[in-house]
Amino acid sequence: MRITMIGHSTVLIETNGKKILTDPYFGTRGNPAFARCGKPAKSREEMMAVDGILVSHDHWDHTDGKYLRMLGETPVLAPRLTSWLIKLLGGRNVIGIKSWESREIGGVTITAVPAVHMTVTVGYVLESENQRVFFAGDTFYSGFMKKIGERFRIDVALMPVTTYRIPMTMSDKGAVKAVQMIKPGVVIPIHLGIIPRSPILRTSQTPEQFTQRLKDSGATAKVVLLREGESYEIG
């Protein structure tokens, strides 16, 4: 199984001959409030040959409408209550899913798990080749993470580990608590591809700071920081 950082929360998971892409966002400029930190490793056109898309929620930096319109009948999993919004953005084969429901894409079992954000959201656990990958999307720390850790033996967790003055995801402290509950073997930080344009909204939190906090907590999970285009292989 190979995990490749495309950029921000867009991650390509290749397993069992299939390609699953999370939260597609290929914009290079951001929006009026947030700037894109770096270009995604691949363009929309280069990412057409995928077998499934996982959308955690409907925010602009996780749902690339232009890309969704290009996909045709590629299955797109999205939270059931807001799946209609993904269809409005251009997704044709949108499959609504709620927490603890499972679907299969080409032999890869995908289970939606709880998440907490400022909109309807889910995370996902992918199971394939006797490996389990947890994609948290955007979420705050909450007690349901203990249940995720109890139900699945997570090999790799793709998790946000920093936040801004107006929190949108877990802080580094919250991410440490999440790791302690989920107990993954490896943590790959995500949601690092945009930054508030206003310095007032920025914090000093970094993936490196999270790594040190995690080490100080006694957790044994390994932190792997992937830059755009870099990959990590498990199994």
Considering the entire predicted model, what is its pTM? 0.97
Check pLDDT > 90 for residue 168: no
pLDDT at 235 over 90: no
> Strands 222-223, 2-7: parallel, antiparallel or unpaired by DSSP?
unpaired
The full set of domains in the chain, from first to last, is: 2-233 (3.60.15.10)
Residue 36 has pLDDT above 90, yes or no: yes
Q: What tens digit of pLDDT does each residue of 171-218 get?
A: 999 999 999 999 999 999 999 999 999 999 999 999 999 999 999 999
197, 35 Cβ separation under 8 angstroms: yes
Reported as a single tens digit per residue, the pLDDT across 43-64 is 999 999 999 999 999 999 999 9
Q: Which residues contact 201 (CB under 8 A, 6 or more apart)?
A: 164, 165, 166
